[in-house]
Chains A and B, each alone.
Chain A
Amino acid sequence: MKFRTFLRHLREGAKNIFRNGWMTVASIGAVTTTLILVGVFLAIVLNLNEFAKNIESDVEIKVLVDLTTEDDDVIALGDQLRQLDGVENVYFSSNDEELESLTTSLGEEGRAWELFEQDNPLNHAYVVKAETPQETEGIAEEIKELDHVYDVTFGQDIVDKLFEFNNYARIVGLVLVAALVLTAVFLISNTIKITIIARSTEISIQKLVGATNGFIRWPFFVEGLLLGLLGSIIPIAVVLFGYHYIAENLASQINISFVEILDFNPFAWYLSLGILLIGATIGVWGSVMSVRKFLKV
């Protein structure tokens, strides 16, 4: 295609945006609504994913040692743990360290435990980390069989629940987004259909004087693309400002140490790019759908 022709298509496509008035507004509105929801949903799911991944990789097995175990046996148990297949590292946490971390983690209420400093009732513990999260459960089972092991715990239940919730959220979100995307595509294709009907004489003349289908199709393609891109402006603003606000204010206020959201930069920018691409896709898809039927010669 010649550059001059390309400019003509851009001009024609842009002209139609204005020519269709309220239909244009309705289409852009539909794209905007869709993309805001897509953006919010993506931000939540991606953060949940990251969160789950972090927790998963943090899963450690805590091995409580029998209270009656001799020191030598405690050390021997540590060696046994290190030799298990799939174990990445093992560190020892004495009963004093356990008490201290318990006291600290409970804050004010932990004070009560300070009474036990003289006569510590807690077990010595080994903290075992598996090479991959999937191996955690198997290793825990193996450890249970070893001598001098009082109990074995790990956070698998929580991780499973989180993943389950995450999957559920993802399915609900995807269905919702798919429905919205289809609505937006439908609205755009309708807007463009109206353009085409309004221009049917023009198109029939174009065909008559030998314009190729590609030539006729381009302006509509441009129109769809523009509708999609215009529709993504507000959602991108919402994502950028909203996410910035949450990252800056809310996250620090809530102050739950284990909840960490993805950094604004680059995450929000990637998300904006994603929204822009989805908007463009919706627009082009809508225009292609409506023009296809009309151009059958």
Chain B
Amino acid sequence: MILMEDVYKTYPNGVAALNGINVDIKQGEFVYIVGHSGAGKSTFIKLIYREEKPTKGNIIINEIDLSKLKERKVPYLRREIGVVFQDFKLLPRLTVYENVAYALEVIEETPKGIRTRVMEVLEEVGLKNKARFLPAELSGGEQQRVSIARAIVNRPRIVIADEPTGNLDPETSWGIMKTFEEINDKGTTLIMATHSKEIVNTFKKRVIAIEDGVIVRDEQRGEYGYEV
């Protein structure tokens, strides 16, 4: 679960990105974060995986108080959180298989464990037959699936997606959303920042809207609520 209490974030250049955020996300929830560009969505997400630290306020992730988390313990927090980006962030010189295996290698999983788990995850995202391909040989949707596979391969309790469908056409986006729903059905908390009205209004979930660094709306099975 994710708990934020009165969280403020002001960047060193003086930009106040978040101005008092209070939120409680339970284990297994699926939450959209919506809002205009610059509203504070990305900062909100970065605070969860401890890419940024709050200027003020408490954040608790998976029972860990981030303000008390030592720097050298941050990697262990990250192993509980999978992150998916708009631009996929795949390593171009590595095959699909290697890109996914990479996440397990850096946490020193055994070679046998890596093989079994990577094939399992590739099957889950429907890319088992493309394991030997390079990212450049795949379509955008397929590349995003590889990055999703990498995000979930070490069985995190939370998956965060920052505009995962931003670079994809609607049809491909649908497929990606199906995959996210499947992941969520298995009990993984899913947090997704998005600009897609269609997705939010079709796959009805909890919607948290951020404006000028504060939460202006928080509804179960909400609507996108902005004119695009």
Query: Do the beta carbons of A5 and B108 come within 8 Å of each other?
Result: yes
Per the bound structure, the CA–CA distance linking A5 and B107 in Å amounts to 10
Which positions 1-59 of chain A face chain B at CB distance < 8 Å?
Answer: 2, 4-5, 8
For this complex, into which size category does the number of interface residues on chain A fall?
10 to 19
Which positions 149-181 of chain B face chain A at CB distance < 8 Å?
Answer: 150, 154
Query: Do the beta carbons of A210 and B91 come within 8 Å of each other?
Result: no
Tell me, yes or no, whether B123 is within 8 Å of chain A by CB.
no
Distance in angstroms from B5 CB to nearest chain A CB is 23
Which of A120-128, A179-187, A200-208, A264-272 sits within the interface?
A200-208
Query: Do the beta carbons of B106 and A209 come within 8 Å of each other?
Result: yes
Which of A103-111, A137-145, A211-219, A227-235 sits within the interface?
A211-219
Q: CB-CB < 8 A to A115: which residues of B? A: none
Q: CB-CB < 8 A to B72: which residues of A? A: 212-213
Contacts known (A201-B91, A205-B89, A205-B91); A210 close to B108, Cβ less than 8 A: no
Query: Do the beta carbons of B89 and A8 come within 8 Å of each other?
Result: no
Q: Quick one: CB contact mask for B114-138 with A, threshold 8 Å, 1 for yes? A: 0000000000000000000000000
Per the bound structure, the CA–CA distance linking A267 and B192 in Å amounts to 68
Q: Select one of B51, B71, B107, B111 contacting A211, CB under 8 A.
A: B107
- The residues of B with any CB-CB pair to A shorter than 8 Å are 49-51, 71-72, 74-79, 83, 89, 91, 102-103, 105-108, 111, 150, 154
Per the bound structure, the CA–CA distance linking A289 and B150 in Å amounts to 32
Tell me, yes or no, whether A175 is within 8 Å of chain B by CB.
no
Distance in angstroms from A2 CB to nearest chain B CB is 6
Q: Classify the interface of chain A: helix, strand, loop or mixed.
A: helix
Tell me, yes or no, whether A172 is within 8 Å of chain B by CB.
no
Query: Do the beta carbons of B75 and A212 come within 8 Å of each other?
Result: yes
Tell me, yes or no, whether A112 is within 8 Å of chain B by CB.
no
Per the bound structure, the CA–CA distance linking A213 and B78 in Å amounts to 13
Q: Select one of B71, B78, B89 contacting A210, CB under 8 A.
A: B78
Q: Quick one: CB contact mask for A245-260 with B, threshold 8 Å, 1 for yes? A: 0000000000000000
Q: In this complex, what residue of B is CB-closest to A2?
A: B108
Per the bound structure, the CA–CA distance linking A215 and B75 in Å amounts to 11
Query: Do the beta carbons of A210 and B102 come within 8 Å of each other?
Result: no
Q: CB-CB < 8 A to B71: which residues of A? A: 297
Distance in angstroms from A157 CB to nearest chain B CB is 62
Query: Do the beta carbons of A202 and B108 come within 8 Å of each other?
Result: no
Sample of 19 further A-B pairs with CB below 8 A, known A209-B102, A209-B103, A210-B75: A2-B108, A204-B89, A205-B102, A206-B106, A207-B78, A209-B79, A209-B106, A209-B107, A209-B154, A210-B77, A210-B79, A210-B103, A210-B107, A210-B154, A211-B75, A211-B107, A215-B106, A215-B108, A297-B74
Per the bound structure, the CA–CA distance linking A72 and B145 in Å amounts to 111
Query: Do the beta carbons of A208 and B49 come within 8 Å of each other?
Result: yes
